[in-house]
Each structure stands twice: as structure tokens, then as C-alpha cells.
Structure 1
Amino acid sequence: MDRLVNTVRPYAWGSTTAIPELLGTEPTGEPQAELWMGAHPGAPSRLDRGAGPVPLSEVIDADPAGELGEQVAERFGPRLPFLLKLLAAASPLSLQVHPDRAQAAAGFAGEESRGVPVDAPYRNYKDANHKPELICALSPFEGLCGFRPAAATAALLDGLGVDSLKPYGDILRAEPEGGALREVLTAVLTADREEMAETVRQAGRAAERLAQSPGPHRETYAAHASIARHHPGDPGVIAAMLLNHVWLQPGEALYLGAGVPHAYLQGFGVEVMANSDNVLRCGLTPKHIDVPELLRVTRFEATVPGILRPEAVNGEETYETPAEEFRLSRFARAEGEAPRQLPSGGPQILLCTAGSVLLTADDGRRLALRPGDSAYAAARDSAELSGAGTVFRATVAP
């Protein structure tokens, strides 16, 4: 077992306080959006096995079978297939969609063959992998996930009373749902920018007013009013109105598969994902938006967001998803609880979010974890967990 030293990513949407409070450090006054735990080349964790700090990516490169286990290395190649994060959002992230594995492979190969630089701001595919992800709330967590049923969205838009939105409501009511959602999203993202900016201004003002009035959609209008304040004039403000509004309570999670449009709005959580950078953006960002490619990978179907609650087996609470690259679970240990032998055979990262726990390896080495501390265990490692606290465990799905 090795303690990890991790990198904080200072994205503009990040909270200035959530991560420092968990770590017990003084806020810097700057946003601290994500704490990365893993071997992603953008910010690999570091560990020290006696020769000084070394990136986890280099440790795995030196012995993939020993670190990952032969089965994991054969299945996913010589790299850690998942990335664990703490995510602290104080304002909305970009509205986005992730490709499936086949779309990512084809898109990456196409851009490589055309000679698009991998760091070009207009590049869509940074790698050939898909990016399923799971967010588990540590605080009340607000987001958007999947298309709302067309008729319900038409009613929501009608409630705003904005004339330029009425054609979208008509389409959503009159046409088959999948085609209607595609047509409206296309129209929003390809509209005249000045005209759309005025529509966004009017919709934002209307949402502010409706958020102060009693009604069944008050919370949803409040969310969209906030989005409009943070992203004035952005077409993504209207695109976001097509999506389900979701609140997660601490301990609840949301799985995001390929083709599902989504955005995190605010809150603090633990996120795990396949080790990929592939994101196609719909709005709420100054970054590149490739509308034709976005439309190609988006799944135009209404969904009901499936809020996940952990399933407890022998003291380990697991969030089950269809993802192959990762599995997230947690141990909520009480004072006086008997030590627990951790499963082994594959790579795992352990993150403490509350209390104080102790990892004891078979060779007697001990590693204490307090809130914000994390540890990496190679496939060959075996350890016992004791103490009282909450520990999240990320590993590869069996």
C-alpha cells in the first residue's frame, strides 16, 4: 500500500472551500475544482517507495502485470483503466456528451489520419477510449442528466412566456420524440448568435421570476436562472432546458453512459470514470463545440435519471454500473467495528472522506488515512482496514 500525493485542478467553476475543508488546509482564495487520484498523464498521482516521489503512471509502466494484475493488463492494456476524483463545483460545468467506445476509436483514428494536433483546441478526440462515469454525492449535489420527455419540456418552455421559444415547444409536441429532440437541439446550437443571445436573456429573466413564485417547476426554473446568470447569452442555456433536473443527497450517485447529455451544476462529490479525455460539448463553455459530431454521438431519447444507492454486501457498499473499467464502493465503518480484509488481485485506490482509518499490509506496514488522504494498492498487495470512518474504494469491475 502506498500513500498518494495528488494534484488539485484549479478550474474556474470550482469551489474555493470544499476541497480545502476536507483536506484540513487553508483555502487559497482560488478555485479548487478537482483532486485527481490515478495515473492519468495530465496529472498523475505520485508515490514514494523509497527512491523519492515517482508518478504512478511510471510505476505502472515499469511493471504492468505486477501492478495491475495479468488479467487487468490483458483486458485494458498497460495502464490504470480508471481515474478517481474529488469534484467540487461552485458553478455549472459545461453541458456535454461522451462517445461510446466505437465512436471514440473511429473519431480518434480520423483526427490522427488528418494530422490534427492532439493539443489543438478544436480537436474532439484526445484518445480512442470511451468515458463512462459515476458521481457520488458527498454534499447535496445538483445536475442535469438526459433528455426530459418532450411534452414536459414543451410545458416548461411555455411557462417562460418567451415568444422565440414557442416554435421549439410546437416541435416537441407535434413530432416523434427522438426526432423532435434532435431538431430542437440542432436549431438552438445553429441559430443566429445575436438572436439566440436575446432569447437567452429573456428566458433567464423569466426563469428568475418563476423561481420566486410557487409552482411545480420552481426548483427547475431556479436552476436555469442560475445557469443563465453564469453563462449570459450562451445557447447552452436553452439546450440545458431540454434535460432532466436532478438533486442527489449525500451517498446517492448518478451513472452517465455514452450519448447522454449532462452537466454538473453545484455540489461536492467523489467521481470515478474510465481513463479518457473524450468530451463533446453542447454549451456553457467558451471551448470548441463541433455541432455535427455532437449530434452524431448524442442519444436522442427521453430518460428517467437512475439515482443509484449502494448495495451492501459484507460491510462493503457497492454502486453497480455497466462500466467495465471501474467499480466504486465504500466502507462506512463504526467505532469498534472489527477489521476488514480488503479484496486483492487488481489495482485499487482508497480515499478517506471522514473519520480516521488504518491500512495494515500483510508484511506489517501501516498507513493511516484521514479525510482527503488516499492510497494505492497494486494487484499483489493485501491489506486489512480498521478504524472508524468512511472510505471509498475504486477498482476494476470483475
Structure 2
Amino acid sequence: MDRLVNTVRPYAWGSTTALPDLLGVPPTGEPQAELWLGAHPGAPSRLDRGDGPVSLAEVIAADPGAELGAATVRAFGPRLPFLFKILAAGAPLSLQVHPDRTQAETGYAAEEARGVPLDAPHRNYKDPHHKPELICALTPFDGLCGFRHPAEAADLLEGLDVADLKPYVDILRASPEESALREVLTAVLGAEGHALAETVERAATAAAHLAPKGGPHAEAYAAYADLAHHHPGDPGILAAMLLNYVRLQPGEALFLGAGIPHAYLSGLGVELMANSDNVLRCGLTPKHVDVPELLRVVRFEPRDAGVLRPEDVDGEEVYDTPIDEFRLSRFVLAPGGAPRPLPARTPQILLCTAGTVRLTSDTGTTRELILAPGGSVFAPASEHLTASGDGTLFRATVVV
């Protein structure tokens, strides 16, 4: 196993304090949005081997069989199929969806055939991979996830008492559910220029007025009013009102599958995703929004937010998802407890988020590493590890 040196991404929506507080370092005053752990080419982790840092991506490329294991290479090719992050949202992220595997492959091939540069701002598909993801809260964490049932969305919009919203309310009450959601989202995102800016402003003002009064939509109204503060006049505010608002407590998670519209609003969490950059945006961003392609990818399926809680599997708390590219689990370690074995068939990244964790390798000569919050290691598929200590350890690996 090797200790990882990881890169902080300074996106504008990042918190200025959450990551520094976790890592125990002084804040810089600048946003610190994500700490990346993995072999993504944009910011690969480096292995701290004493004689200078070495890129994890280069280490894997030099001998994928040894680092990933034969089963992982057969399933996913000679690449680490996941990207692990600590995400610190100080402001809302864009409203977005991710394509499924087939959509990513066909979309990427089509843009390649048209000669669209990979760095073009209007490019939709950066690679041919899907991008399901899982976010697990380390602090109370606010987000939007999946479409509300249309009747509930109609009640929420009607409660704002904004006349311009009545046509949307009527559609949501009269049409079949999936058709209603498609029709309203198409109308909102297809409006030209600033045609909806005044409607958005009236809706946001009403939401801010109603939030302190309580009621079933009070927390959601407060969230939408805050969105409008960050993105005044953005029609994505109305799109967001079609989605479930959720507040995760520490240890709770959301799984975002293909086509599920979502946005992270605030909080600190660990995020695990398939290793892809494919994002189609719905709003709350100055970046390109390709409405026709977005409408092709979105799944207009009403659902609950789907809060995940871990299931205990022999002392390992596992977040169950239908994805093979990644598997997230958590160990809550207590002093004096028996060391917890970490299975060795697959590559893994281990991340401490609280307390102190001791990792011991008994492959060949015994070796120990001590992790403080924010500390992490990469262990290749062949390495047998155990964990002990007084802290919380997250484990990212694959399913083969």
C-alpha cells in the first residue's frame, strides 16, 4: 500500500473552510471544492514512495494486472474504473444528469465523427463511459434528486401563488405523469433568453416569504430561494422545483443513476463515481445547456429521493448500488476492537474521515501506516490489509 498525495480542485462553488477543517490545515481564503483520489487524468493522485511522488495513473498503466488484478482488468480494462472524492459544497452545483453507457458511447462517437474538440464548451460527451455516482454525507448535506410526483410538484408551485406558474400547475395535474414532467421541463428550459426571468424572480420571492412559515414545503422553499440568490433569473430554478429536496444526515447517501436530474446544494460528503466526465446540464450554470440532448437523456420517472443507509456485512457497512465500477463501504472503528480485514481481490482506496486509523499490510514484510482525517492510501489487488484504531474509514473498490 502507498500513501496518497491528492489534489484539491478550487471550483467556485467550493467551501472556503470545510476541507481545510477536515484536513487540519489553515484555509487559504479561496474555494476548495473537491479532493480527488484516484487515477483520473485531470488530477491523478500521487504515491508517496519516499523518493518522490509518482502518478497513480502511471503506476497502473505500467502494470495494470498487478495493480488492479486480472478480474478487474477483464471487467473494465487497464484503468481504475472509479474516482473517489471529498466534496465540499459552499454554494449550489449545477443542475445536471449523466448518460447511460449506450448514450455515452453513441454520443461520444457522434461528436468525434463531427470533429468537435474535446475542450469545446459546447461538447457534451468527453468520453464513452457512463457516470453513475454516490454521495455520502459527512455533515448535514442538502441536495435535489429525481423528479417529484407531478401532483406534489403542482401543490408546491401552486402554493407560491404566482399567476405565471398556473399553466405548469395545470399540466402537472392533467397529464400522465411522465408526459407532464417532460412538457413542463421542455417549456421551462426551451424559453428564449430572459423570457422567464420575471417569473423566476416572483417565484423565488414567494418561496423566501413562505419558507419561515412552516408547512410541508418550507425546507424546499428555503432551498429554492437560496438557489435564486446564487442564480437570479435562471430558469433552472423552476426546473429545480420539479425535483425532490432532501437533507442527508451524516452516514446517509444518495445514488444518482443515469438520467436522474440532481444538484448538490451544500455540505461535506464523500463521493464515489464511475471514472467519466460526462455531464449534461439543466441550469444553474453559465455553461452550455444542450436542451434537445438533455431531453433525450433525462428519465422522466417520478420517484422519491431514495436515501440510502448502509447495510452491515460482517462489520463492514456497505452502501448497496446496482453498479460494478464502484463499491463504497465504511468502517467505524473503536479502540480495543478486533482488526478488520480488508479483502484483497480488488484494488482499493482507503480514506480516513475522522479519528485515527491504523492500516497494516501482511503481504511479505509487515508494514503499518497511520491515517488522520483526510489521509488516504491506494492498495493493489494483491495486498492483504487490516484496519484498526479509533476513527472512520471509507473504502472504495470495485465489484468483480
Scaled to the shorter chain, the TM-score interval is over 0.9
Structure 1 position 51, deviation (Å): 4.2
1:335 counterpart residue number: 335
2: distance between equivalents of 1:217 and 1:360?
Answer: 49
Q: Distance in 2 between matches of 1:360 and 1:144?
A: 39
**Which amino acid letter does the alignment assign opposite residue 29 of structure 2?**
G
Match status 1:135 vs 2:157: no
Structure 1 CA distance, aligned partners of 2:61 and 2:34?
25
Instruction: Provide the residue aligned with 1:6 in structure 2.
Output: 6
Contact kept in structure 1, 2:73 and 2:79, CA below 8 Å: yes
Secondary structure of the corresponding residue to residue 5 of structure 2: coil
DSSP-derived class of the 1:332 partner: strand
For residue 205 of structure 2, give the secondary structure of its aligned residue in structure 1. helix
Contact 2:317 2:330 in 1 (8 A): yes
CA drift of 1:338 comes to: 1.3
Give the match for residue 33 of structure 1: 33
Q: Distance between the aligned counterparts of 1:380 and 1:51, measured in 2?
A: 23
The residue number in structure 1 matching 2:288 is: 288
Tell me the distance in 2 between the aligned counterparts of 1:214 and 1:49. Answer: 55
After superposition, residues 137-286 of structure 1 pair within 5 angstroms as 137-286=137-286
1:314 alignment partner in structure 2: 314
How far does residue 195 in structure 1 lie from its aligned partner after superposition? 2.2
CA deviation map 1:289-312 (0-9, x unaligned): 000000000001101121111111
- AA in 2 matched with 1:200: V
The aligned amino acid for 1:381 is E
CA contact (8 A) 2:136 2:270 kept: yes
1:247, distance to aligned residue in structure 2 (A): 0.9
The residue matched to 1:212 in structure 2 has which SS?
helix
The AA in structure 1 aligned to 2:155 is A
CA distance in 1 between partners of 2:331 and 2:247 (Å) = 23
Q: Which residue of the partner structure matches residue 367 of structure 1?
A: 369
What is the distance in 2 between the residues matched to 1:194 and 1:308? 38
Q: Deviations over 1:42-83 (max 9, x none)?
A: 110000335421111000000011100011011101100001
Q: 1:323 maps to what in 2?
A: 323
Q: Confirm or deny that 1:100 pairs with 2:113.
A: no
Structure 2 Cα separation of the partners of residues 304 and 210 of structure 1: 23
| SS of the residue 1:195 aligns to | coil
Alignment of 1:72-87 (within 5 A): 72-87=72-87
- Partner secondary structure for residue 194 of structure 2: helix
Task: Give 5+ residue unaligned stretches, structure 2.
Answer: none
Q: Is the 8 A contact 2:16 2:27 kept in 1?
A: yes
CA distance in 2: counterparts of 1:215 and 1:306, whole angstroms? 22
Match of 1:59 in 2: 59
1:391 is aligned, of 365, 383, 393, to: 393
Q: CA RMSD in A?
A: 0.9
TM-score, reference length from structure 2: 0.98
Name structure 1 gaps, 5 residues minimum. none
Residue type at the aligned position of 1:252: E
Give runs of ≥4 in structure 1 deviating > 6 Å: none
CA-to-aligned-CA distance 1:345-371 (integer Å, 9 cap, x gap): 111000000111111111212111010
Amino acid at match of 1:44: P
Output the CA distance in 2 between the equivalents of 1:195 and 1:111: 31
Letter in 2 for 1:34: E
CA distance in 2, matches of 1:383, 1:348: 10
Per-residue CA deviation, residues 323-380 of structure 1 (Å, 9 max, x unaligned), is 1100000110111111122110111000000111111111212111010000000011
Query: Any idea what SS the aligned residue of 1:300 has?
Result: coil
Aligned length: 398
Taking the aligned partners of 1:79 and 1:261, their CA distance within structure 2 comes to 28
Query: For 1:344-383, what aligned pairs fall within 5 Å after superposition?
Result: 344-362=344-362, 363-383=365-385
